[in-house]
């Protein structure tokens, strides 16, 4: 990303995380810009990261080689249609649910657009992002987009934009599933006699440890589950209960509902 000027339109939590991740990965603060209408937000970014901030989106677009739309999905159309684009700019959007075709139309067509679906653990540099590039994106621009999102976690590319709906159902919404499991384990632990704080810490650390183990050992989760499920033991009894209650089918139904809603939102917001 040498000599690339990267600008963020919208300076909320996701933009702040990406800016922090980029600077931590060695990107010079002088090459990062952010535009936001709130003067306090701009001042905070300047103080924390020493980047250039602007109140005018068009000025940011004119200055930058990469423009990241980090605004709420409902605001993206108004923001995009107000911008006069320039040749060679890469537009990267992290606004959920907006198809790249819609953004390209709002930007007056034939723009290089990468659509990203990050998730909230990006706020602590542990995110997972799905990426899709339209036909106008060069290989170099794909590399730039990947580097930006990789600054806050793992990245994967999808070949078909429609697959981002499945990414949304899996990793986009996924943190909430794990939080719900932690919440349920914490409550069950209390009902089994543990103090509230003990149950909370054990549930959270167990979730963290299991994820770290799966990442570092790189073993299939099914194998890891089998390895900790001794025949006739306590874990086996718990797993058996989950199977009897249809846990796998519940996850499939829940993620299908999330995928379907993602498709609906794309239709609603992309008009």
Residues 123-141: tens digit of each pLDDT: 999 999 999 999 999 999 9
Is 183 part of any domain?
A: yes
Hey, which residues does 154 pair with through a beta bridge? 128
What is the rounded CA–CA span in Å between residue 145 and residue 66?
9
Enclosing domain of residue 230: 174-266
Q: Are 55 and 80 in contact (CB under 8 A)?
A: no
Please work out, in degrees rounded to the nearest 5, the angle formed at the alpha carbon of residue 6 by the alpha carbons of 175 and 112.
85
Q: Do 137 and 205 lie in a common domain? A: no
Q: Do 180 and 157 lie in a common domain? A: no
Half-sphere exposure of 225 (CA within 13 A, CB side): 9
The pLDDT of residue 53 = 97
Q: Do 223 and 148 lie in a common domain? A: no
CATH number at residue 249: 1.10.3730.10
Q: Which residue has the tokens 């930006």?
A: 148
Is 1 part of any domain?
A: no
In three-state form (DSSP H/G/I as H, E/B as E, the rest C), the secondary structure along 175-228 is: HHHHHHHHHHHHHHHHHCCCCHHHHHHHHHHHHHHHHHHHHHHCCCHHHHHHHC
Our count of domains for the chain comes to 2
The pLDDT of residue 88 = 94
Among 112, 133, 164, identify where a domain stops.
164
Q: Do 106 and 73 lie in a common domain? A: yes
Q: Do 116 and 87 lie in a common domain? A: yes
Hey, which residues does 52 pair with through a beta bridge? 33
What is the rounded CA–CA span in Å between residue 166 and residue 163?
5
The pLDDT of residue 218 = 82
CATH number at residue 11: 3.40.50.720
**Which residues fall within 8 angstroms of residue 266, CB to CB, at 6 or more apart?**
97, 98, 99, 165
Residues 14-38: tens digit of each pLDDT: 999 999 999 999 999 999 999 999 9
Packing angle between helix 13-24 and helix 139-150, nearest 10 degrees? Answer: 100
CA distances from 32 to 107, 170, 210, 262 (A): 22, 31, 36, 31
The pLDDT of residue 100 = 95
Among 118, 135, 164, identify where a domain stops.
164
What is the rounded CA–CA span in Å between residue 113 and residue 129?
16
The pLDDT of residue 255 = 97
Q: Do 16 and 138 lie in a common domain? A: yes
The pLDDT of residue 134 = 97
The pLDDT of residue 270 = 77
Q: Do 178 and 229 lie in a common domain? A: yes
Backbone angles phi, psi at 98, to 5 degrees: -95, 115
Hey, which residues does 129 pair with through a beta bridge? 155
Half-sphere exposure of 52 (CA within 13 A, CB side): 15
Q: What are 62's two structure tokens?
A: 């004119």
Q: Do 159 and 181 lie in a common domain? A: no
Distance between the two ends of the chain, CA-based, in angstroms? 33
Is 169 part of any domain?
A: no
Residue ranges, the chain, pLDDT below 50:
none
Is 205 part of any domain?
A: yes
Is 79 part of any domain?
A: yes
């Amino acid at each position: 990303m040498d000599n690339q000027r990267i600008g963020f339109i919208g300076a909320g939590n996701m933009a702040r995380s990406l800016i922090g991740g980029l600077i931590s990965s060695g990107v010079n603060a002088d090459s990062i810009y952010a535009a936001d209408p709130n003067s306090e937000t701009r001042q905070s970014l300047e103080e924390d990261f020493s980047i250039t901030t602007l109140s005018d989106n068009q000025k940011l677009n004119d200055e930058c080689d990469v423009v990241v739309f980090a605004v709420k999905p409902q605001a993206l159309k108004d923001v995009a249609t107000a911008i006069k684009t320039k040749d060679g700019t890469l537009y990267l959007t992290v606004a959920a649910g907006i198809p790249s075709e819609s953004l390209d139309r709002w930007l007056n067509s034939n723009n290089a657009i990468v659509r990203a679906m990050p998730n909230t653990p990006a706020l602590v540099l542990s995110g997972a992002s799905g990426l899709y590039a339209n036909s106008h994106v060069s290989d170099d621009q794909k590399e730039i987009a990947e580097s930006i999102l990789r600054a806050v976690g793992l990245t994967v590319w999808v070949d078909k934009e429609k697959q981002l709906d499945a990414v949304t159902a899996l990793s986009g919404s996924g943190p909430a599933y794990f939080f719900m499991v932690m919440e349920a384990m914490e409550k069950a632990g209390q009902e089994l006699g543990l103090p509230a704080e003990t149950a909370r810490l054990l549930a959270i650390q167990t979730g963290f440890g299991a994820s770290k183990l799966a990442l570092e050992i790189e073993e299939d989760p099914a194998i890891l589950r089998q390895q900790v499920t001794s025949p006739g033991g306590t874990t086996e009894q718990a797993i058996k209960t989950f199977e009897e209650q249809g846990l796998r089918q519940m996850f499939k139904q829940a993620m299908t509902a999330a995928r379907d809603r993602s498709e609906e939102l794309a239709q609603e917001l992309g008009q």
